[in-house]
Chains A and B, each alone.
Chain A
Amino acid sequence: MAGIDIGGHGSRRSTNHEIPLIPFIDFLLCLVAFLLVTAVWSQMARINADARVPGPPKDEPPEKLEKEKQLHVEMRGERKFQLVWKEGSTVVNTIDVPRKQVPVGAEGDFKYPDLAEKITAEWKQNGSHRAATDRKFDQAVLHTDNSTPFADVIAVIDAIYTPQREFKLGNQTEIMPSFNVTFAVN
């Protein structure tokens, strides 16, 4: 067992000491148990959205904005989603995707793999910002009914975030969702 031996014999009080290891181990075990019980193992994450509101006014004149293609995801139909590529107010292309809900887990969660697959294919074909050095992201606008439950909205946003691309920031390259999602007001 661990002890401190500093030699010396014959003095009245013993100078050799045993370190009480067993109480020390007990203390450590209590500490471990307490910390394990109070530990927070967070499984929470976030899904990003962009409100697309203008920032504070700047002194420089604004850059000339080009009309970019935007993907409008229409989720108001009961049986199908509609993907609409628009350039300004001009409709470029419309694609229908069947609304097939796939349950995930036992807590009532679900996702739309068909929609995710179609959006990925569409982005590969029509996405404007695909280079790793491109700082902009393609814009997706979500059109939803007022009474749609939030879980449904999140499942669709999750599907929109399925296509991902490389994004180079300085020397670092990260994998990011290809689209930025915002809500349509009407």
Chain B
Amino acid sequence: MSDKPLSRFNQPISMPGRRLLHHVSLDFVRRKVTGHGNRAVNQEIPLIPFIDFLLCIVLFLLASFSATGELPIDKNVKLPKAENVLDMVEAPMVAITGTQILVDGTPAGSTRTIEEANRLQRVDELFNILKNKRELWKQINPGKEFPGVAILQVDRRVQALVVKSVFQTAALAGFPNVSFMVGRLGEQGGGGAAE
């Protein structure tokens, strides 16, 4: 096909090709703005949006950052899972491993004593620690109603007798609203606390 443009009357449809800025009379400007007939090979990476994106991630992660780790779980405790659960709350954590009872990491009795007695009983050490915690809370928050919430972190193999003994001890020490810490099974969640 010849380069000569066809008459408008003979050929109403123009030849395909670039049109924009081709009319610029200065040669070097035309070459520059039309990309010299080719695409430019040098590309600028859009750094500013990239930095904005990184800053957003940093801010989000900083907001959810916890230096201590949110819920310290004893490595000897393997928790069971449940479906109809509530969200965690901040409360004294009583862990029951295979042999030990711990309150926020401090030893507070042995499960062997309960197992050997083979009957429901009060764990005195645990009772004293929880009672002290209750009194301390009341001193720090005078005039406020004590929520009485304790969370039991119990290994899945622990016998019900030990769980019931610890549960009863917590209730006697002034923590009647006892919750059991569990893993989430599926996505179905419960509502708020049923107190």
User: A residues engaging B (CB < 8 A)?
Assistant: 1-2, 21, 24-25, 28-29, 31-32, 35-36, 38-40, 42-53, 55, 104-105, 107-109, 111, 137, 144-155, 157-158, 161-162, 164, 167, 174-177, 180, 183, 185
Contacts and interface: CB of A to CB of B under 8 A. Distances in A.
Given A48-B179, A51-B167, A40 B184 contact: no
Contacts of A157: 82, 180
Interface string B164-191: 1001101110001111111111000111
Interface in B82-118: 82-89, 118
Interface string B40-66: 000000011011001101100110111
B156 to A, nearest CB: 4
Contact of A105 (B171, B179, B185): B185
Given A39-B64, A48-B193, A177-B194, A104 B84 contact: no
Contact of A45 (B51, B73, B85): B85
B148 to A, nearest CB: 9
Given A2-B47, A144-B160, A50 B65 contact: no
B157 A32 contact: no
Contact of B151 (A46, A107, A144): A46
Interface size class of B (residues with CB under 8 A): 35 or more
A104 B183 CA distance: 13
4 closest cross-chain pairs (CB), A and B: A51-B171, A45-B85, A35-B61, A146-B161
Nearest to A104: B185
Given A21-B51, A45-B182, A157-B180, A148 B61 contact: no
A47 B89 CA distance: 11
17 contacts: A44-B182, A45-B184, A46-B180, A46-B181, A46-B182, A47-B84, A49-B180, A50-B194, A146-B160, A148-B160, A149-B157, A150-B155, A151-B157, A155-B82, A161-B190, A164-B191, A185-B168
